[in-house]
Amino acid sequence: MWHEARRSERKVHGLMDAARKRAQRRAVYLAKRRGDSQQLLQVARTRRRVHRDDGLYQAAQDQQGRIPWNGKQDVLIDRFDGQALLDFIRDHSSRNNHFQQKTEEEEVEEFVNFERYRDLIKLQRRGFRKDTVAEMAKKRELERQRQEKLAEASRIRQYVGGAIVEATVEAGAQEDNIRDHGHILDLIPQGRGAEPSSAAFSC
């Protein structure tokens, strides 16, 4: 038993020594990496001879390489400048960054147009043809007129013996049908490209 404890103790000491040596090696490596950054710069150079050209210097000073831009003699640009291809340069100060405010009438007209074509766009996205959409719109208009007539008829009141009785023109089943199908999009099948059933629009 003593030999086994001694063996495990030697193993632990060996692991500790190995860890300490690894830490020392890592510290030396990081110290080399963290050295002065100026020492890591590498400068490559090539020997060149400088040629002095007095004529080119004098031409640049005398603006001999400049040409008038857009016919204006007081505006000179370099002949290799890309701005020579432009007809005019927009002035930044004259640029109007403010959007024109819409009047109330224009806002109302935009909203009405949006509501006018919203259902048509939704139907075309579902794959219906234009003639089918027009027929469905006509049936929707007839359905709306029927609903208005029912609403008007329901407001007719009869006085019988002091009690108010609501008079309806059509049967209650038709009222429920109109109440359940108040919008044209509710009558359309959800499958793409499917034709609307004629039973949904039966008058």
Tens-digit pLDDT profile for residues 44-55 = 889 888 888 888
The pLDDT value given to residue 20: 94
Output the pLDDT for position 202.
43
* 62 to 22, 55, 78, 178: CA distances (angstroms): 71, 10, 12, 89
Is 104:168 a contact under the CB 8 Å cutoff? no
- The whole-number pLDDT of residue 190 equals 53
- Asked which of 73-82, 95-104, 165-174 is least confident by mean pLDDT, the reply is 165-174
Residue 129 CA to its chain's centroid (Å): 29
Q: Would you mind telling me the total number of residues written for the chain in this entry? A: 203
Question: Domain range for residue 113?
Answer: 104-201
The predicted pLDDT at position 16 comes to 93
In a domain, 39, yes or no: no
pLDDT value at residue 194: 47
Mean pLDDT across 32-38: 73
| Residue 25 pLDDT exceeds 80 | yes
> Please, which pLDDT band fits residue 141 given cuts at 50, 70 and 90?
confident
The pLDDT value recorded for residue 18 is 94
Report, as an integer, the average pLDDT of 135-160.
79
Residue 175 lies in a domain: yes
Mean pLDDT on 16-28: 93
The number of domains in the chain is 1
In a domain, 174, yes or no: yes
How confident is the model over 85-130, as pLDDT tens digits?
Answer: 877 767 666 555 555 677 888 888 988 888 888 877 888 888 888 7
List C-alpha distances in Å: 1 to 6, 14, 15, 170.
Answer: 9, 20, 22, 105
Residue 195 lies in a domain: yes
174 vs 54 pLDDT, higher one: 54
Domain contains 52 = no
Is 45 part of any domain? Answer: no
Judge whether 160 lies within some domain. Answer: yes
Asked if residue 49 belongs to a domain, the reply is no
**Residue 66 clears pLDDT 60, i.e. is over it:** yes
